[in-house]
């Protein structure tokens, strides 16, 4: 199916934390292969693997030193091929991370580039002379804090890095860099992967004039000074479109493949998502961080979805509430109700949205972040900004499978600890309880898969007061009402023109013309043209 990705559901696996097969405390590819039946049992369409490539692990694999290999901690290329075969046998597509904007400082390409100013790879990275006073060429900052420039004594120049000094940024203005990465993509496409998740997809190009970024007015400094700049010269450059089109042309030359891009832009994320997925020559779909934050209201969800489709009616979004970069939503939104109820309603809402969906491992358990102490951290963000910014380790702790030591993740010492609050939410216990979050996910995923209107239909929002979020998903003559009580208290609505409740509702009671939604309640209903709704 050429456009299988439209309306699909992808399950993100963080390899380091999914399943350890050899007792070294680190998850690996054989461990993933062992646990794929669990993923398939959820009813998702694909898996996305975070990086498993050779790396010095300064940023947990997002600093790649070999784009065509497998880090020994995770196994071998043969292990990858076996995992790919098993996934395909289970009906799962396989999407892998591609971290192209930057590499590890140990990558042979950077080693050659830094040797001198005249070698064959001299301009494969972003180099700049210092100002007369020895300072960097402009005010660009690193996402992880401090200047985006590091001095190299050999070349007597600064090199640029969006993230750590150990992650030098490639110069995509050089056509040879683009050709190199097209070959990398071919390597994995030839191996049989079904698509790519493109890390920092708007970071590939920079302003060649190296102009400084303007300041963003704010009342008080944020935790990270990076957020004090409008990053108009460091990313989201117009040249990026042409590069996306080259990658799309290559991907489309293979049958049934796709690309999903991560847009990192706090000010214009939804706008860039639309721009990058517009038409059929750029990304197949994209996601940004709008729904990965603390905002949680009917107005917010409506505005986010409507804004995307207003700006890109022919674009395609991928929505997520959690991933490896942000606190887990069951914990972020605990002020909205019991963790289990929030987790179930979040699944129902996310899986009702127009677009494609991404779930993060453990989300199907209602998993929460782990509270870590400073000495337990590995994430550079947490290490740099502790304790005001605790970093991303809390959402990356190991998957919990059963009641055994370390949650069945490893027989050794896990790379991050499995603590009691997380260990209590293990798979085995939830398998045994029909009212668990895990079973709710399976039920909702099965319902979405059976309803073409939820996978491919368009959306029309209804005007109702907070905390009620209601919208119609429609496809042809079929219309389905999706309704959610995002509040703490029960609400009652007068409702007409419904053909009855369908799907696995929660805290919802329909009595002829009256719908009662308890806290975190939700329901789906087939409706007719004479639908009428009002809060009683």
Instruction: State yes or no: is 514 an active-site residue.
Output: no
Give the pLDDT confidence score for residue 109 in this predicted structure.
98
How does pLDDT run across 468-483, given as a tens digit for each residue?
A: 999 999 999 999 999 9
Residue bearing tokens 């959820």: 42
Instruction: Quickly state the pLDDT bin for 1 (edges 50, 70, 90).
Output: low
Residue 529 in this model has a pLDDT that exceeds 80: no
- Residue 491 CA to residue 41 CA, distance in Å, equals 34
CA atoms within 13 A on the CB side of 202: 26
Average pLDDT, whole number, for the chain? 97
**What's the length of the chain?**
536
Instruction: Quickly state the pLDDT bin for 334 (edges 50, 70, 90).
Output: confident
How does pLDDT run across 101-136, given as a tens digit for each residue?
A: 999 999 999 999 999 999 999 999 999 999 999 999
Instruction: State yes or no: is 371 an active-site residue.
Output: no
Tokens of 137: 């060429």
- CA end-to-end span of the chain: 46
Residue 2 in this model has a pLDDT that exceeds 80: no
Domains and CATH numbers, the chain: 9-101+175-448 (3.20.20.80), 457-535 (2.60.40.1180)
Give the pLDDT confidence score for residue 528 in this predicted structure.
80
**DSSP letter string over 330-371?**
HHHTGGGS-HHHHHHHHHHHHTTSSSEEEEETTGGGT-----
The three-class DSSP label of residue 401 is coil
Residue 462 in this model has a pLDDT that exceeds 90: yes
Instruction: Quickly state the pLDDT bin for 40 (edges 50, 70, 90).
Output: very high
| Cβ contact 32:19 at 8 Å | yes
Of 215-229, 242-256, 519-533, least confident by mean pLDDT is 519-533
Instruction: Quickly state the pLDDT bin for 465 (edges 50, 70, 90).
Output: very high
How does pLDDT run across 345-365, given as a tens digit for each residue?
A: 999 999 999 999 999 999 999
Give the pLDDT confidence score for residue 499 in this predicted structure.
80
**Of 63, 262, 364, 479, which residue is the catalytic one?**
262
Instruction: Quickly state the pLDDT bin for 75 (edges 50, 70, 90).
Output: very high
How does pLDDT run across 404-460, given as a tens digit for each residue?
A: 999 999 999 999 999 999 999 999 999 999 999 999 999 999 999 999 999 999 999
- Residue 391 CA to residue 505 CA, distance in Å, equals 35
Handedness of CA 107, 108, 109, 111 (dihedral sign): positive
Handedness of CA 321, 326, 328, 331 (dihedral sign): negative
* Strands lying side by side in the sheet with 127-128: 127-128, 157-160, 149-152
Per the confidence metrics, is the pTM higher than 0.75? yes
Residue 198 in this model has a pLDDT that exceeds 80: yes
How does pLDDT run across 78-105, given as a tens digit for each residue?
A: 999 999 999 999 999 999 999 999 999 9
Residue 501 in this model has a pLDDT that exceeds 90: no
313: buried, middle or exposed (CB in 10 Å: 19+, 13-18, 0-12)?
Answer: exposed
Among 314, 185, 163, smallest CA distance to 246 is for 185
How does pLDDT run across 152-191, given as a tens digit for each residue?
A: 999 999 999 999 999 999 999 999 999 999 999 999 999 9
**Of 73, 199, 443, 479, which residue is the catalytic one?**
199
Give the pLDDT confidence score for residue 209 in this predicted structure.
98
Give the pLDDT confidence score for residue 326 in this predicted structure.
98
């Amino acid at each position: 199916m050429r456009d299988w990705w439209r309306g699909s559901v992808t399950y993100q696996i963080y390899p380091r934390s999914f399943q350890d097969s050899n007792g070294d405390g680190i998850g690996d590819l054989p461990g993933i292969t062992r646990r794929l039946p669990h993923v398939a049992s959820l009813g998702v369409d694909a898996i996305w693997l975070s990086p498993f490539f050779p790396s010095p692990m300064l940023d947990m694999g997002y600093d790649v030193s070999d784009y065509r290999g497998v880090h020994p901690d995770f196994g071998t290329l043969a292990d990858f091929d076996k995992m790919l075969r098993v996934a395909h046998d289970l009906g799962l597509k396989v999407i892998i991370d591609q971290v192209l904007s930057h590499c590890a400082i140990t990558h042979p390409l950077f080693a050659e580039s830094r040797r001198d100013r005249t070698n064959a790879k001299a301009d494969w990275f972003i180099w700049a002379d210092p100002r007369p006073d020895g300072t960097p060429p402009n005010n660009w900052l690193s996402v992880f804090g401090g200047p985006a420039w590091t001095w190299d004594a050999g070349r007597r120049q600064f090199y640029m890095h969006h993230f750590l000094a150990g992650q030098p940024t490639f110069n995509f203005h050089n056509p040879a860099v683009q050709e190199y990465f097209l070959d990398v993509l071919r390597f994995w496409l030839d191996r049989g992967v079904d698509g790519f998740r493109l890390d920092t997809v708007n970071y590939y190009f920079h302003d060649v004039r190296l102009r400084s970024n303007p300041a963003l007015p704010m009342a008080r400094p944020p935790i990270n000074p990076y957020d004090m700049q409008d990053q108009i010269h460091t990313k989201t450059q117009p040249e990026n479109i042409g590069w996306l089109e080259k990658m799309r042309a290559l991907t489309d030359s293979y049958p049934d493949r796709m690309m999903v891009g991560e847009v990192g832009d706090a000010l214009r994320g939804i706008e860039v998502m639309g721009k990058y997925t517009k038409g059929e020559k750029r990304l197949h779909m994209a996601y940004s961080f709008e729904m990965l934050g603390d905002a949680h209201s009917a107005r917010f969800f409506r505005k986010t979805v409507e804004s995307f489709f207003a700006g890109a009616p022919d674009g395609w979004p991928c929505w997520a509430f959690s991933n490896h970069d942000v606190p887990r939503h069951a914990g972020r939104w605990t002020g909205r109700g019991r963790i289990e109820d929030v987790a179930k309603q979040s699944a129902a809402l996310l899986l009702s949205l127009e677009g494609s969906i991404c779930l993060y491992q453990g989300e199907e358990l209602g998993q929460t972040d782990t509270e870590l102490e400073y000495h337990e951290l590995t994430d550079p963000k947490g290490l740099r900004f502790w304790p005001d910014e605790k970093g991303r380790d809390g959402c990356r702790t190991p998957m919990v499978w059963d009641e055994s030591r370390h949650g069945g993740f490893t027989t050794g010492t896990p790379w991050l600890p499995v603590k009691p609050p997380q260990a209590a939410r293990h798979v085995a216990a939830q398998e045994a309880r029909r009212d668990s979050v895990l079973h709710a996910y399976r039920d909702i995923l099965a319902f979405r898969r059976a309803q073409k209107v939820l996978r491919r239909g368009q959306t029309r929002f209804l005007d109702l007061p907070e905390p009620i979020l209601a919208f119609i998903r429609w496809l042809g003559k079929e219309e389905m009402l999706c309704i959610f009580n995002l509040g703490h208290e029960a609400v009652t609505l007068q409702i007409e023109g419904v053909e009855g409740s369908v799907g696995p509702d929660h805290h919802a009671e329909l009595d002829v013309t009256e719908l009662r939604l308890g806290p975190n309640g939700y329901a789906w209903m087939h409706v007719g043209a004479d639908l009428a709704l009002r809060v009683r």
